[in-house]
Amino acid sequence: MVGEFFLGEYVQGAPLDSLAGIIWLALLIVFFVLLLPLVIWMGVMTNVRYALRRVAWRESLGLKY
């Protein structure tokens, strides 16, 4: 369905009209395939790093988890 929506004009014979749709489709693919997992991974690693620091800080105070 997405391909039909973005590539519909191209199939009908107006390739220049569908150029914007093709660019949008490429940007969506780049965002969801490359950037979104990278952002999620960075967030997870940041949370892990701060959790480890918090555990080390509590252990330095002699506290248990």
pLDDT given at position 46:
92
Q: Hey, where are the domains in the chain?
A: 2-60
CB-based burial, 26-59: b 16+ in 10 Å, e otherwise? eeeeeeeeeeeeeeeeeeeeeeeeeeeeeeeeee
pLDDT given at position 7:
61
The pair of three-digit structure tokens given for residue 30, joined into one six-digit string: 């780049």
The answer to whether 34 touches 20, Cβ cutoff 8 Å, is no
Q: Which tens digit of pLDDT belongs to each residue from 4-62?
A: 566 665 556 566 667 777 888 888 888 888 888 888 999 999 999 898 898 888 888 88
The single-letter DSSP state of residue 8 is H
Residue with tokens 């489709």: 25
